[in-house]
Structure 1
Amino acid sequence: MPVKPAAPSASFSGPFALGTLSAPDQASFPALVVPERRALDLRPALGDPALTIRAVFERWDELLPLLRTLAADSTAEWQSLDGLRVHAPVEPRQVFQSGANYREHVIDLEVAHRASDDPRTVEEARTEIAAIMDRRAAEDLPYVFIGLPSALTGPYDDVVLPAWAEQPDWELELAAVIAKPAYRVPVEEALDHVAGYTIANDLTDRATVFRRDMKAIGTDWLRSKNAPGFTPLGPWIVPAESIADPGDLRVTLKLNGETMQDESSKDMIFGVARMVSYASQTAQLLPGDLVLTGSPAGNGMHWGRLLRDGDVMDGSITGLGAQRTRCVGEAE
């Protein structure tokens, strides 16, 4: 079994990123992290002993220039990342999740979920589903649902696979972090409300996605996606100004060292701006909230290989760093 990293990586784009860290037996703190593997406790640095990362986003326009200055300050009270625990970088009030947003991923899933008596060949099914995806893009109707903040866990924490989960699957995703309240914002202004980006692995139990007792009800996202720890998040939140194009990032997941997902965010049907704008037409997005943008092709259903006890997932996205999580099966 691969060995989990002894210390977190600080590989990301730009001069700094944000995270939530803790020393052994101490409370967590909001941190400014630089590529030299150093971290700065933002509470004393910004003169606010109650500061959290979410509170940083609530004051984003005010604090961003200060963060740039602190990142370049060699005299600040920096500490090594060695020995520090990395938590989920932010505690959002709301998590907005996107389904069916990567063209090839949706095609693969639909083919995998075909009824046993479906008369179509695989090629015929893929062609028909591809046409549906193209029509969705033309009609401009994203699919967004709500996740639970309690499902979040750190980027290096173990993930417990519940005993009831028959088909636990991985879904590595780009996540946008909201900076200022967004309500009914147009697409053209949506990215002005995004503070930065991070990595989310939106685990899903495929066996419980659809209700077996009453198919007309449709999807059951509470059951299939929101077990404790089902969304490893982070390690870092990289400011949007350090990511040239969120629509052109490589999303890669390896299972026990074998590449399973390796796709560009160019395959998204709806980009980050469209997802943020769409969600804001109904709900008010708040500072620190997450907008997950969907997962690319290469999930376990496609490979016929789902998660089990002892599996190790390594996920990375261009410029955002990497996470590693080990699966632990829950006893019956």
Structure 2
Amino acid sequence: MTTTAPSPETGLDAPFALARFRDGAAVRLGLVAGGRIRPLDGADLGAPDLNAFLADPDWDRLGRLAATGTGTGADAATGTESPWRPLSEVTLTAPVQPRQIVQAGANYRTHVIDLVVAHRPVEDTRPEAEIREDAGRMMDERAATGEPYFFIGLPGAIAGDDVPLVLPSYSEQHDWELELAVVIGKEGFRITRDEAMDHVAGYTICNDITTRDRVFRADSKGIGADWYRSKNAPGFLPTGPFLVPAGFVEPHGLTITLDLNGERMQDAVTSDLLFDVPALISAASLNMPLLPGDLLLTGSPAGNGAHWGRLLRDGDVMQGSVQGLGTQVVRCVAENRPNTQGGDS
């Protein structure tokens, strides 16, 4: 498969992609092409549901469907209503339904070096350039001889950008971490690096929201990071809006950006990953089989709120993009925000 020029309507570099959209009270799978979307059923997919399709995806089948035309309204000759609708007329939600979410941490070289500098001991009086050089050598050694660091996310934290991100009232230290996410296709266990890309169905965008003051516990300091309570509140993993087939994406060298209220906060390239996609897949599959539709998050680059000293607030708007995969827009609201209109709630 080949790429095309980015679509101004979607930001996609692909001739088609998958999405899930709201249809009344239901959520339906759809095929996106040329700023339009049409529903997909089992006959279109050749599979009973999305994860079953991803287990053995027939992208050529969907490519032919995308090429049949993306006009909307009734056909003048036949009077048949077109299944295609303008993308702007539907509400998209998260494009995937994973059973497992594996997340890589500390996986961008520059980000980790920044952390080493920011958290250097007060007695370390070396110039910053020297500290960065030393940290860079450590990162290169880790990439050459070490292993990726993983933790587990909960599928219940996934949300589309069709719903606001509710900032829990128990903290004021909620942070962003935009990431390239791998969508697993064929099931695999103890996958070799050479086999890894055969298990990729596609890619999407995730924003791994983190409550900073819940990462380490005061009552059990020796245990380490508590990722369960710091990352798994409802809606803390905004995902999508599209699932782009793997054949349209070269994951090494994608630009990844996040703007907060129009100001650029994260701006990096996936070539800065310490462990690339094949290495992550191989390492993640050593413990547990990866299943069709599972998400593997590749880590977040530098530029999160802790770096800037600016955490998420009520009313913030995040716009996160990964090159060729589209853009997600996440609006933040405070939990139990008081009624500002006056009168009864």
Verify same fold: TM over 0.5.
Answer: yes
Question: How many angstroms apart in 2 are the aligned matches of 1:292 and 1:91?
Answer: 14
Q: Counterpart in 2 of 1:14? A: 14
Normalised to the residue count of structure 1, the TM-score between the two structures is 0.90
Question: How many angstroms apart in 2 are the aligned matches of 1:110 and 1:168?
Answer: 21
Unaligned runs of 5+ in 2: 1-7, 71-81, 338-345
Q: In 1, are the aligned partners of 2:175 and 2:304 still within 8 Å (CA)?
A: yes
Decide which moves more: 71-80 or 143-152: 71-80
**Percent identical:** 52
Q: Counterpart in 1 of 2:51? A: 54
Cα deviation, residue 321, structure 1 = 0.3
Match 1:285 to one of 268, 276, 290: 290
SS of equivalent residue, structure 2 residue 111: helix
Question: How many angstroms apart in 1 are the aligned matches of 2:96 and 2:317?
Answer: 23
SS of equivalent residue, structure 1 residue 188: coil
Question: How many angstroms apart in 1 are the aligned matches of 2:139 and 2:113?
Answer: 8
Match 2:256 to one of 251, 256, 266: 251
Q: Counterpart in 2 of 1:42? A: 40
Normalised to the residue count of structure 2, the TM-score between the two structures is 0.87
Mark the structure with the bigger radius of gyration. 2
Question: How many angstroms apart in 1 are the aligned matches of 2:45 and 2:260?
Answer: 43
Q: Counterpart in 2 of 1:223? A: 229
Question: How many angstroms apart in 2 are the aligned matches of 1:237 and 1:157?
Answer: 18
Q: Counterpart in 2 of 1:69? A: 64
Detail structure 1 runs of 4+ shifted over 4 Å in the superposition: none
Question: How many angstroms apart in 2 are the aligned matches of 1:157 and 1:249?
Answer: 27
Q: Counterpart in 2 of 1:307? A: 312
**What is the correspondence of 1:112-261 to structure 2 with a 5 Å cutoff?**
112-114=118-120, 117-121=122-126, 123=128, 124-243=130-249, 245-261=250-266
Q: In 2, are the aligned partners of 1:175 and 1:200 still within 8 Å (CA)?
A: yes
SS of equivalent residue, structure 1 residue 286: coil
Q: Counterpart in 2 of 1:321? A: 326
Cα deviation, residue 292, structure 1 = 0.2
Question: How many angstroms apart in 2 are the aligned matches of 1:47 and 1:224?
Answer: 37
Cα deviation, residue 131, structure 1 = 3.0
Whichever residue aligns with residue 32 of structure 2, its letter is V
- C-alpha change, 1:180 and 1:206, in structure 2 (3 Å) is same
How many residues are paired up?
318
